Every structure is written in structure tokens, then in C-alpha cells.
Amino acid sequence: MSKYYVDKFLYTVDRDPELMRRYKEDPRSLVTAWEQSIGPKLNDAERSTVNSLTEAERNALINHDYVALFEMGAHFFLSLTIFIGLYDEEWTQKHGPLSFQLDFAKRLQHWAGRDYPSVAT
Amino acid sequence: MAVLSAVLASTHHPFYLKAVSMPPEQQIPQAAEWKRKVEAYRETLTRAKPDILVMVGADHFHQFFLDNYPTFLIGKAPRYDATFYNEEREFSIPKYVLEGHEDLSGFMLQGLMDRGFDMSFSNELKLDHSIICPIITTRPQADLPVVPVYTNIFAPPLPSPKRFWQLGRAIREIIDEYPSDKRIAAIGTGHLSLELGGPRQFGEHGPDPEFDRQAIEWLATGDIDAILKNVTHESMAKSGNATHGFMDLILMLGIAGPEKADYVDSLDLYHTMEAYLTWYPKAEAA
């Protein structure tokens, strides 16, 4: 498990409009490209060799599965922000303001009143 | 010596500008009241006539990430860009450039080191909405130099509530010792109970209205003993997974000292309770 690397995915994609477009249109190909060329990047000159996604993490990212990501301990702020970026506009048009955020909360109701999975890395 | 002319501690709600700038027919029902309260709060800063703003906030994974996340950091730069692409996208917050105050930044950095706070520093810092929200609410002309202080309320393990208080106390001593005839205001924002990306997010009220009521009371009466007795990382998590931003309000109480606030207001909104507190340090009142 690499919570850090899942968070790195969310962080690097959310801050880049072009990556956000690709993550929305074709998540599988974006996740593949990210693992090859973006995830390992330490800076413009250096590559890191130490991190990789597990199959479960890769699938959660490909499926935009924010429930699974919450349960893995992905950071709540990164997860909320990126999925608002992907879905808020279309949900607002179809179902009204905050409809996506409220549905997101509803899908996590089984965690209400329990200790949440830790986001510590 | 410099004069600490006001200490402001409030929540930061990144949707404020969007909420009050929409066409009136699309605004949330509380928008007019919200704007009124924010403008009244702004007046508490204006009347203090500040020359420099010490601003406390927390980077929400904008410039800093988990490869290198500072616990406490101070900006020391001639100026600061502000607002990241994903904040413009989500909150419609405009970009800003704020002037820095390198001399006070350097004095503060050294003063904190001398007092046992081994601060990180940044000479190229782009500010996020934790600093820009209070600029929008309390100084929208964005015309004063700033000294930004960032804290980690976000990436565990976090410093203790007591450490936030102590850092606030140290910042106060340093401001009081700053050899200058300038008037300094300290402005910090954080949260009351807050849930992000969890089952209690975006409800009709904040996730723990009872904590919110109690927290405002503690701040308003300057009751640091009650705060340190009752508020732990675990208790904050029970009130909402992002409630740890309350520790920045504890820091601001540290700058003000264990004193009653001179101005207290709040607003119950969807998603969170808003709180607006101002202290005018005693030496100034005399």
C-alpha cells in the first residue's frame, strides 16, 4: 500500500487543467501515463524509483472510486477537491447546487459515528 | 517599539466571494446577512489602522506536499503571488500579488528560532486561500505588506494545541519587541467543526454545532485553560475530520493573550459555522 503515492496522484492531477481533462475523459489511460511519466518525477531532472501503486489503488483511481480512496486513507482534502473538479459542474446542472457533495457524503454514511481510516502517511 | 493594534481570528469560508457576487436571485438565503457581518468585521481591522499584517494560515496542499511538508513556516520574500489554478476553478477566487515585509519576516524568523521554534522558511511562497480569504473579507484593497505564517493543521502528525498556543505567545513577544513605529495587525484564520470528503460534509450546519458554540465561547472569553483541557487531536476528529484548523484560532488567541475578545460575531451557515473575533491589545486601549 502506498497512501503517499495515491495522494501524489491526486495532488499532481488536481493542480493541472490538462491532466484533469484527461482524467475525466479517459481515466485508465491517464492513470497508466501517470505511473509511467508523472508519478516517478521528483523534479525536472530527477526520477524516483521507490514508489508504486497497488492493484487496488490503481483500480480506485481508474474508477474515480472516492469511497474506496476514503477507506484507504487517501487525504480527504485532495480527494474532495479533485472529484468536485471532475463532477460538480455537471451535477449542479442536472441536480442543483451541492448535489454532488451531498451524494459523496451519502455514499460514506456507513462511516458516520466511526473512527475514519487514518490519512497519516 | 511596534504597536500590535489588533488581533483578528476568524474562520475562512472560500465560497464567501462567490456567494455574495452571484446574481441576487441565485444567492443563498443568508448571503446578504453574511456580507453585512463580514463588512462589520472588516471595520474592526480598518479602525486599528494597521501598516503591516502578520497573517496566519495553512497551505492546503498547494505549494507544499507530503514530500516536504513544513510544520511551522514563515514567508520571507519581497512579494507573494496568491491563488492557485484549482482554487480559481473551485472557489472563483481571483489572483493577487501581496507585498511582503522582509524586515519583519526576518526579525520574526530569528525571534522564533531564539525562542526554540525551529521554523522552516520560504523565500518563494505562493499563498493560498487561507491567507487570501481574510484579505478578501478584512482588507479587500490588499494594499498592506504581509508576513505570512503557515502551520500544519492538515498532514498528521500535527503539533499539539498547546504548541499552537505557545507559538502565538512567542509571535506576540516578537511583535511587541519589533523596533519600529509601525502598527501591526495579526490576522489568522482556521475552522470550527468541519468535515471535508467524509460522511458529514456540506450539511445544513457544521458537523458539530455544540463544539462550535463552545469553541466561540472559549475564544471570546480567552479561556485557554478550558481549550487545552478539552481540545485534543482526537476530540477535534470526532467533531469533524478537518476540525484541526481550530488550532490556528488557538494560535491567534496566543497572540492576543488570555483576554476577552473585544468583538465577537458568528453566522450559522450550511457546511460550517462562521466565527469572527477581534482583540484590541490593552496597551493600545490605555
Which residue of chain A is at minimal alpha-carbon distance from B19?
A97
Of A76, A85, A116, the CB nearest to B90: A85
The helix/strand/coil state of A68 is helix
Residue B286 has pLDDT above 50, yes or no: no
Where is average pLDDT lowest: A70-74, B116-120, B216-220, B279-283?
A: B279-283
Of B86, B157, B202, the CB nearest to A81: B86
Chain B residues within an 8 Å CB radius of A115: 237
Task: Please give, rounded to a whole number of angstroms, the shortest distance from the CA of A65 to a CA of chain B.
Answer: 12
Chain B residues within an 8 Å CB radius of A105: 195, 198-203
For B25-77, how does the pLDDT look when each residue is reduced to its tens digit (9 = 90+)?
A: 889 999 999 999 999 999 999 999 999 999 999 999 999 999 999 999 999 99
Question: CB–CB of A85 and B156 under 8 A?
Answer: no
If pLDDT is split at 50, 70 and 90, which confidence band does A1 have?
low
If pLDDT is split at 50, 70 and 90, which confidence band does B283 have?
low
Are A80 and A67 within 8 A, CB to CB? no
**Which of B62, B158, B196 should we substitute to test contact with A (largest number of A Cβ atoms within 10 Å)?**
B196
Q: Given the C-alpha cell 511596534, which residue does it identify? A: B2
Question: CB–CB of A104 and B197 under 8 A?
Answer: yes
The CATH number of residue B103's host domain is 3.40.830.10
| pLDDT value of residue B285 | 44
Region class of B130: left (phi > 0), else alpha (psi between -120 and 50), else beta: alpha
| pLDDT value of residue A34 | 98
If pLDDT is split at 50, 70 and 90, which confidence band does B282 have?
confident
- pTM here is 0.97
Domain housing B197: 3-285
Question: CB–CB of B198 and A111 under 8 A?
Answer: yes
If pLDDT is split at 50, 70 and 90, which confidence band does A30 have?
very high
For B133-184, how does the pLDDT look when each residue is reduced to its tens digit (9 = 90+)?
A: 999 999 999 999 999 999 999 999 999 999 999 999 999 999 999 999 999 9
Cβ-based burial of B196 (10 A; exposed 0-12, middle 13-18, buried ≥19): buried
Q: Given the C-alpha cell 519587541, which residue does it identify? A: B177
* CA nearest neighbour of B185 among B126, B139, B150, B232: B139
The number of domains in chain B is 1
How many contacts (CB atoms, under 8 Å) link A and B? 79
| pLDDT value of residue B18 | 93
Of B90, B157, B199, the CB nearest to A81: B90
| pLDDT value of residue A56 | 98
ipTM metric: 0.96
Question: CB–CB of A85 and B86 under 8 A?
Answer: yes
Q: Given the C-alpha cell 493560498, which residue does it identify? A: B128
CA A28 from centroid of its chain's CA atoms? 13
DSSP state, residue B63: S
Taking the alpha carbons of A66, A71, A76, A78 in that order, is the dihedral positive or negative?
negative
Bridge partners of B150, per DSSP, are B57, B73
For B70-102, how does the pLDDT look when each residue is reduced to its tens digit (9 = 90+)?
A: 999 999 999 999 999 999 999 999 999 999 999
Residue B200 contacts A where some CB pair is shorter than 8 Å: yes
Average pLDDT over chain B, rounded to an integer: 96
**Which of B66, B129, B238 should we substitute to test contact with A (largest number of A Cβ atoms within 10 Å)?**
B66
**Assigned CATH for A3-111:** 1.10.700
Which residue of chain A is at minimal alpha-carbon distance from B84?
A15
* CA nearest neighbour of B190 among B162, B216, B172, B214: B216
- In this structure, the strands spanning B96-99 and B79-82 are antiparallel
Are A51 and A40 within 8 A, CB to CB? yes
User: Where is pLDDT greater, at B219 or B26?
Assistant: B219
Please compute the mean of the pLDDT values over residues B204-215 and round it to a whole number.
Answer: 97
Are B184 and B91 within 8 A, CB to CB? no
